[in-house]
Amino acid sequence: MRLLWGVVTLSLCVYHANAATGPTILTNPESVFNLTNAVLTCNITDPPSPIKGNYWMKDGVEIKNTKSEATASTTQFTLDKIGNTDGGVYTCVFETEPISQKTIDVKTPPHVKPYKDSEHGNENDKGVLACVSHSYPAPTDWTWYKITETGNEPIINGTDKYEIKSQPNKTYLYITLLDMNADMGDYLCQGVSELGMASGKIHLRVRSRLAALWPFLGIVAEVIVLVTIIFIYEKKRKPDEITDDDDSGSAPLKSNAATNHKDKNVRQRNSN
């Protein structure tokens, strides 16, 4: 057993020794934050094989038009006007055998947007409001507020009324049993990261249950009106049809009045 551990330890040491003699890539700067422009530089020493070229990646995806066949040991990538969505993990890749690469974090403050500026729900239903952040790094904390006349009231998670479900770049606020008076209004979602905070505002409208039924009631009313018109029209036509039937005398359906009338005629004829 002790021998086995010895072998394992020895091979781990050999592995570490190999790693230490691999290439070194120095980056400048080591990371970027709160900047509007930046030039990312990588400088490789001791490449494992001759350099055949290089390119850059963002969040693991090759950045278009950065591929170069340059054999130089340095490469640069320029970021102009760093926007909220430009943050991420940038990587310089030198084409060696095996490839050599190093990452540079580009961090931007949170950029919070409501999923929709305005949401609506029906009375007594469950309402849901959502916000997303496109920044790197994603917010570490999310808070929801209800905007009232006296200020922003923080919303407490896990009450009968509210539930907050947050992921790093997304947050949801669920509101149960929507009330037209109490729940209608403006809400604020706020994301906080090491680089700052940002918030988004959502307006929630609550419709009465009846209002939700209006389109349906409209159709029902239309159908009733149509049926009534058809009914009245048919009623008006009916007397004509009866006299027609009477003349032909072959109608299977006769009103009692018509039959009585005929009987009378017959009786009269008999008496003549």
> By C-beta, is 154 or 218 nearer to ligand NAG?
154
> By C-beta, is 165 or 267 nearer to ligand NAG?
165
Rounded to a whole number of angstroms, the minimum distance from the CB of residue 210 to ligand NAG is 32
Rounded to a whole number of angstroms, the minimum distance from the CB of residue 154 to ligand NAG is 12
> By C-beta, is 45 or 256 nearer to ligand NAG?
45
Q: What is the dihedral of CA 132, 136, 142, 145, to 10 degrees?
A: -60
Binding residues for ligand NAG, total number by CB under 6 A: 18
Residues 6+ apart with CB under 8 A from 187: 129, 144, 145, 146, 147, 155, 173, 201, 202, 203, 204
> By C-beta, is 192 or 212 nearer to ligand NAG?
192
C-alpha 176/C-alpha 157 separation (Å) is 12
Q: Which amino acid is at 106?
A: V
Residue 27 contacts ligand NAG per CB under 6 A: no
C-alpha 6/C-alpha 12 separation (Å) is 10
> By C-beta, is 96 or 169 nearer to ligand NAG?
169
Residue 76 contacts ligand NAG per CB under 6 A: no
Q: Pick the binder of ligand NAG from 29, 48, 53, 196 (CB under 6 A).
A: 196
> 209-248 and 256-271 are packed helices; what angle lies between their axes, rounded to 10 degrees?
10
Residue 249 contacts ligand NAG per CB under 6 A: no
Tokens of 242: 């009866």
> By C-beta, is 26 or 230 nearer to ligand NAG?
26
Tokens of 166: 């947050």
Q: Pick the binder of ligand NAG from 52, 126, 165, 209 (CB under 6 A).
A: 165
Residue 158 contacts ligand NAG per CB under 6 A: yes
* Residues 32/39, Cβ–Cβ less than 8 Å: no
Residues 6+ apart with CB under 8 A from 230: none
Rounded to a whole number of angstroms, the minimum distance from the CB of residue 107 to ligand NAG is 8
Backbone angles phi, psi at 149, to 5 degrees: -60, -25
Residue 29 contacts ligand NAG per CB under 6 A: no
Residue 74 contacts ligand NAG per CB under 6 A: yes
Cβ-closest residue to ligand NAG? 43
Q: Helices then strands (H, E): number in the chain?
A: 3, 17
- Count CB neighbours of 139 within 10 A: 29
Region from 55-63, 155-163, 216-224, 235-243 binding ligand NAG, contact rule CB under 6 A: 155-163
C-alpha 57/C-alpha 48 separation (Å) is 21
Residue 54 contacts ligand NAG per CB under 6 A: no
Residue 89 contacts ligand NAG per CB under 6 A: no
The residues that touch ligand NAG, with contacts defined as CB under 6 A, are 26, 33-34, 43, 45, 74, 109, 132, 134, 157-158, 163-166, 169, 195-196
